[in-house]
Structure 1
Amino acid sequence: MIWPFWLGIGGAIGSGRQPFPWVHVDDLSGILAHALENESVRGVLNGVAPSANTNAEFSAALAASLGRPAVLPVPGFALEAMLGAERAAMLLEGQRVIPKRTLESGYKFRYPQLRAALENIVT
């Protein structure tokens, strides 16, 4: 995703209103280590950040962290033509995922907020 945004031609996917779960790589590896180091942790832990963002919010934050505009949305019909209807649906509809069990297990996110996570990655 970074190349179109770095070139100043990135934007939201479809309407941009769909949920867009994300996680910083440090937190994903931290969740794995937390699960391996704590015998009390059992079952599935969702590896997503606790802040719920839309695709439009993610796109705007990524563009801002790069100092670029986010003005060119990707139309849904273009994704459907490139990926097929079923694959495009994953991007156009999104999925609302929360890390309920991850937080209940005691994991503390280093990057729970989108802007801080993106600024750490791109700077």
Structure 2
Amino acid sequence: MGWALVLGITGPPSPGLLTVSFLLYALSALTGTALGALTSRAILPSPAFSIMTLVLGFLAILLLSATSLYWLTVPLISWMKAANAGELVGRLPVLGSISLVWCVIGLGAYAWLRRRT
């Protein structure tokens, strides 16, 4: 985030937009943690299958978020569309809550699966 602020901007962002950006970074880290946990070797014993599942899981999230069923997963494409249209701050409650619910469900599923193995 620091390098993006130093090298990638042409003007200072508004305080609200900067706060949303930090929140998005936190949500993306949580999403990566949930997806990585669900495809870890603790859950999937084969390293090859674990890596393939991680990549295919991310592609599934990306493709599903481009459809009208974006609310079933982390809405990555919706985040990008909202940022491009200048509606990122306004759409934060809806998209952020969808992302957070998915992460909580994913980490809960990991804890349940890990307890069973």
Q: TM-score, normalised by structure 2?
A: 0.31
- Give the structure with the higher percent helix: 2
Greater RCO, 1 or 2 (C-alpha within 8 Å, sep 6+): 1
Q: TM-score, normalised by structure 1?
A: 0.30
